[in-house]
């Protein structure tokens, strides 16, 4: 079984260890990593997912050509919704009473578009969720937002920042290279102003635009980012004919690790199911625990185990 096989740290090992220590919660974090890696191998269904991705907004201010959302918009699929506060609170209240370790407040959209994003971070931290983070394109991290996020207790932020100026501005259109970099630098300054270790800052780029220049990319972020990654380039189309090859022996670990809640409460089958083609439930009317142990989720797990995953459309438009 392949786990976390599509992203790789290019930071040196010492920085990776420092990052891990600064994140705190060392024992629960280690336990979380064990559950993440071991449970899928033995098909153990935990009482509650160890991680939940909560899409606080499916709207985005950029139109990146390699993003499935851009592709979906072209085909007329409509989305662009901010999650209702009551739904968010319902999810977090349940999470806070569970064995969950982490939440990420992003999925297909840009989380900073949600007008209550800071309150959402604060609420989750007040409810003692150990690891609260999100991925962002970084273009909206202005001084006010940075100060608020630092004070709300955000644990880490992942900034999708693809390559150097020319590639960046082509891919992350219409964001500007210097502007986004300055935003991230400012976040670091705000954190240091309050003498805090968090939010830790991760930078991630797709692999193709930094290939052979990894060290240069790492130097670009020296003193700003705490960890730098690259992500393997993946196809982002939603057309089955673009996915000719599938590893039919693969058992995907996702259904034993994590659960995703879309901004309207829909539960897709996994983080790759951008079109919500394999709906497993709805968080408005069901609890997370009910959904995690539901017949639909168990059918998905059984199909994985029995090598039948390609019966499911989302798996047929996934690079795994
Ligand atoms: S679409 Fe299928 S194979 Fe791909 S991540 Fe989701 S569950 Fe796994």
pLDDT tens sequence across 183-201: 999 999 999 999 999 999 9
Nearest residue by C-alpha to atom 3 in ligand 1: 315
Query: Which of 259, 272, 308, 317 is the best mutation target for the ligand 1 pocket, counting ligand atoms within 8 Å of the beta carbon and taking the most?
Result: 272
- The pLDDT of 48-52, averaged and rounded, is 97
Mean of the per-residue pLDDT values of the chain: 92
pLDDT-wise least confident of 51-55, 91-95, 218-222, 315-319: 315-319
Query: Which of 270, 297, 306, 307 is the best mutation target for the ligand 1 pocket, counting ligand atoms within 8 Å of the beta carbon and taking the most?
Result: 270
pLDDT exceeds cutoff 80 at 66 = no
pLDDT exceeds cutoff 60 at 237 = yes
pLDDT at res. 180: 97
Give the model's confidence band at 76: pLDDT under 50 very low, under 70 low, under 90 confident, else very high.
low
Please tell me which residue, 257 or 6, carries the higher pLDDT value: 257
Cα 240 to ligand 1 centroid, rounded to whole Å: 14
Query: Which of 3, 252, 300 is the best mutation target for the ligand 1 pocket, counting ligand atoms within 8 Å of the beta carbon and taking the most?
Result: 252
Give the pTM: 0.94
pLDDT at res. 63: 82
Give the model's confidence band at 233: pLDDT under 50 very low, under 70 low, under 90 confident, else very high.
confident
- The pLDDT of 125-130, averaged and rounded, is 98
pLDDT-wise least confident of 51-55, 152-156, 170-174, 267-271: 170-174
Ligand 1 contact, 273 CB (< 6 A)? yes
**Is residue 81 exposed (0-12), middle (13-18) or buried (19+ Cβ within 10 Å)?**
middle
Q: Give the number of other Cβ atoms within 10 Å of residue 97's Cβ.
A: 11
Q: Indicate which atom in ligand 1 lies nearest the CA of residue 304.
A: 7
Nearest residue by C-alpha to atom 8 in ligand 1: 252
pLDDT at res. 151: 97
Cα 253 to ligand 1 centroid, rounded to whole Å: 8
Nearest residue by C-alpha to atom 1 in ligand 1: 315
Ligand 1 contact, 129 CB (< 6 A)? no
Give the model's confidence band at 275: pLDDT under 50 very low, under 70 low, under 90 confident, else very high.
confident
Q: Indicate which atom in ligand 1 lies nearest the CA of residue 255.
A: 7
Ligand 1 contact, 278 CB (< 6 A)? no
User: How does strand 227-231 pair with strand 258-261?
Assistant: unpaired
**CA separation for the pair 77, 277 (Å, rounded):** 12
Tens digits of residue pLDDT in 128-172? 999 999 999 999 999 999 999 999 999 999 999 999 999 999 999
- The pLDDT of 223-250, averaged and rounded, is 84
pLDDT at res. 41: 94
Cα 181 to ligand 1 centroid, rounded to whole Å: 33
pLDDT exceeds cutoff 90 at 236 = no
pLDDT exceeds cutoff 60 at 4 = no
**CA separation for the pair 208, 152 (Å, rounded):** 35
pLDDT exceeds cutoff 60 at 22 = yes
pLDDT at res. 7: 73
- The pLDDT of 119-129, averaged and rounded, is 98
56 within 8 A of 299, measured Cβ to Cβ? no
Cα 274 to ligand 1 centroid, rounded to whole Å: 11
Ligand 1 contact, 251 CB (< 6 A)? no
Nearest residue by C-alpha to atom 2 in ligand 1: 315
Cis peptide before 174 (omega within 30 of 0): yes
Ligand 1 contact, 320 CB (< 6 A)? yes
């Amino acid at each position: 079984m392949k786990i976390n096989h599509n992203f790789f740290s290019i930071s040196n090992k010492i920085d990776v260890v420092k990052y891990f220590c600064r994140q705190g919660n060392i024992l629960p974090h280690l336990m979380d990593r064990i559950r993440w890696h071991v449970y899928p191998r033995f098909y153990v269904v935990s009482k509650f997912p160890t991680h939940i991705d909560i899409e606080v907004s499916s709207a985005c201010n950029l139109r990146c050509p390699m993003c499935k959302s851009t592709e979906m918009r072209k085909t007329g699929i409509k989305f662009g919704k901010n999650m209702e506060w009551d739904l968010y609170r319902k999810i977090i209240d349940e999470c806070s009473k569970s064995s969950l370790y982490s939440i990420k407040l992003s999925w297909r959209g840009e989380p900073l578009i949600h007008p209550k994003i800071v309150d959402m971070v604060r609420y989750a931290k007040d409810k003692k969720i150990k690891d609260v983070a999100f991925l962002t394109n970084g273009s909206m991290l202005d001084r006010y937002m940075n100060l608020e996020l630092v004070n709300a207790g955000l644990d880490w932020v992942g900034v999708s920042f693809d390559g150097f100026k020319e590639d960046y501005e082509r891919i992350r259109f219409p964001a500007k290279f210097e502007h986004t970099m300055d935003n991230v630098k400012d976040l670091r300054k705000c954190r240091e102003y309050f003498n805090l270790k968090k939010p830790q800052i991760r930078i991630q780029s797709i692999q193709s635009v930094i290939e052979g220049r990894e060290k240069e990319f790492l130097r670009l972020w020296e003193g700003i980012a705490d960890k730098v990654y690259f992500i393997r380039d993946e196809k982002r189309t939603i057309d089955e004919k673009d996915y000719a090859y599938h590893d039919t022996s693969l058992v995907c670990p996702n259904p034993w690790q994590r659960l995703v809640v879309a901004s309207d409460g829909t539960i897709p089958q996994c983080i790759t199911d951008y079109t919500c083609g394999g709906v497993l439930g709805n968080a408005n009317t069901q609890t997370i625990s009910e959904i995690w142990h539901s017949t639909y989720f168990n059918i998905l797990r059984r199909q994985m185990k029995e090598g039948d995953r390609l019966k499911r459309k989302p798996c047929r438009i996934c690079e795994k």
